[in-house]
Amino acid sequence: MTHLVQAITLGLLIGGVYALMASGLTLIFGVMRIINIAQGAFLVLVAMLTWWLWHETGIDPILASVVTTPLMFGFGWVVYRLMISRIRGSSASMSVLLTFGFALVIEGVLNVVAGNKFRSATPSYFEESFRVGEISLPKAQVFGFLAAMAVLGALYFVLTRTWTGRAIRAATQNPSGAALVGVGATGTAALAFAIGSATTGVGGSILSVLYPFFPASHYDWISRLLGIVVLGGMGSLPGALAGAAILGLAETLTATYGSLGWSTLVFYVVIMAVLLIRPQGLFGAKLREDAV
């Protein structure tokens, strides 16, 4: 029983971090129908930057997101204006090609600048745990989870309680309807891309502590993130939360009761099973049939 509770708790802690990482991807897809394959590379880029900040200054890696988040917001804005905006109106497959190319460029630059080797930020609490009864909660995962929840909460607040968020949601659900009430498509898309990129500012900082990484780790990350958003329903934030929780639980439960090697595979099997029954994903939009 303790094993089960321990596995579920750890699964949810990891799931919270995955949810934050996937939220940016699903937000960008929702507003622009752009599949940002470079989101994994953004995460690894931030992880590298965080590692460097931690290594040089001793700043706590998770706290370093105070620096990396605004940087990634600006980075996302510029990338949208200079690159992504040029393929607006093209098919989603075009965005896959373009952002995949961009991911390779980031990987190449990181290889040249930082070298092709594994890194991991290891702050003082890296090997410590909180104990709650029989359950042991690694401090790094608890802090990562709390940071992820704080950012997701802020994102939820922005999306539901501010005009910027309403405009983003309106453009997500009905671009021409949004234009009719005066929401500018270009500005909203740039903002959504910048916010989506900013989530990697925190996600990447957490990644640098929880997982060893090297420049080509982005393939692994984008596979997981795509899996999460496809499972949850492309463009749906609650879907990303659910998908992330399922991935986290699938990993820890399989690792506890099966073997570590099977843990990721089980998640992809779950995705295939769900998609056979619900092709639109768990939270894919389905209201009345004639709604947009």
Binding site for another protein (CB under 8 A): 163, 166-167, 169-170, 173-174, 176-184, 285, 287-288, 290-292
Distance from C-alpha of 4 to C-alpha of 27, rounded to nearest angstrom: 33
The smaller minimum CB distance to another protein, of residues 101 and 187, is found at 187
Identify the DSSP state of 213: B
CB of 176 to another protein, least distance (A): 7
Distance from C-alpha of 245 to C-alpha of 248, rounded to nearest angstrom: 5
The smaller minimum CB distance to another protein, of residues 120 and 164, is found at 164
CB of 187 to another protein, least distance (A): 10
Q: How far is CA 51 from CA 13, 48, 144, 149, in A?
A: 22, 5, 15, 22
The smaller minimum CB distance to another protein, of residues 101 and 177, is found at 177
The smaller minimum CB distance to another protein, of residues 51 and 283, is found at 283
The Cα angle at residue 26 between residues 22 and 30, in degrees rounded to 5 = 170
CB of 289 to another protein, least distance (A): 10
The smaller minimum CB distance to another protein, of residues 56 and 290, is found at 290
The smaller minimum CB distance to another protein, of residues 4 and 181, is found at 181
CB of 163 to another protein, least distance (A): 5
> Which token pair is 227?
């899996």
CB of 97 to another protein, least distance (A): 24
CB of 280 to another protein, least distance (A): 13
Q: How far is CA 2 from CA 41, 132, 133, 134, 256, in A?
A: 37, 11, 10, 7, 11
Q: How far is CA 175 from CA 169, 170, 198, in A?
A: 10, 7, 23
Which H helix or E strand runs over 77?
helix 65-82
Largest Cα–Cα separation, the chain: 58
CB of 269 to another protein, least distance (A): 30
Distance from C-alpha of 202 to C-alpha of 198, rounded to nearest angstrom: 7
Helix segments in 86-174, DSSP class H: 92-114, 139-161, 163-173
Distance from C-alpha of 219 to C-alpha of 289, rounded to nearest angstrom: 36
CB of 198 to another protein, least distance (A): 23
The smaller minimum CB distance to another protein, of residues 171 and 266, is found at 171
Start-to-end CA distance of the chain, whole Å, equals 46
The smaller minimum CB distance to another protein, of residues 162 and 223, is found at 162
Distance from C-alpha of 199 to C-alpha of 149, rounded to nearest angstrom: 11
